[in-house]
Amino acid sequence: MGVWIAVAVGGAIGSVARHAVNHLVHAHWLSTRFPVGTAVINVTGCFVIGLLTGLIASNRLVLRFYWREFVFVGVLGGYTTFSTFGLDTHTLIQTQSSQAALAYVAANMIGGLVAVWLGYAIGLRAA
């Protein structure tokens, strides 16, 4: 039960952080049509997950199970799941699975875009 609470609290923190960053970015670049806030969130989330994973891999940071779940699944998951996508792709490439990495990227990007289009189309017709 404790891990679920850690993920929930971390998710709440990550979601609030995402909203705050998005709000701050759009307060400065309000006139742009490009989704700058989402790009900033995705890139910073990827940087943080990469930094933490590198620190853990080099034994410069030790996170117990609950803290890992709190930070990686909760905080970063609430902030952006794109960071997990980036880490998963990096891991596939590091393990010499470049074909699997390419398939994973294609499945997520193409599959995600098709799913948005399909969901939108169904949503339009549901009314």
**pLDDT in single tens digits along all 127 residues of the chain:** 899 999 999 999 999 999 999 899 887 766 667 778 888 999 999 999 999 999 999 999 999 999 999 999 999 999 998 988 999 999 999 997 889 999 999 999 999 899 889 988 888 887 6
Backbone φ, ψ for residue 67 (5° rounding): -70, -40
Q: Quote the pTM value.
A: 0.81
List the chain domain ranges: 2-80
Q: Beta-carbon neighbour count of residue 66 at 10 Å?
A: 15
Q: 36-57 and 2-28 helices cross at what angle (nearest 10)?
A: 140
What is the DSSP-derived secondary structure letter of residue 58?
T
The pairs formed by 92-99 with CB atoms below 8 angstroms and a separation of 24 or more are none
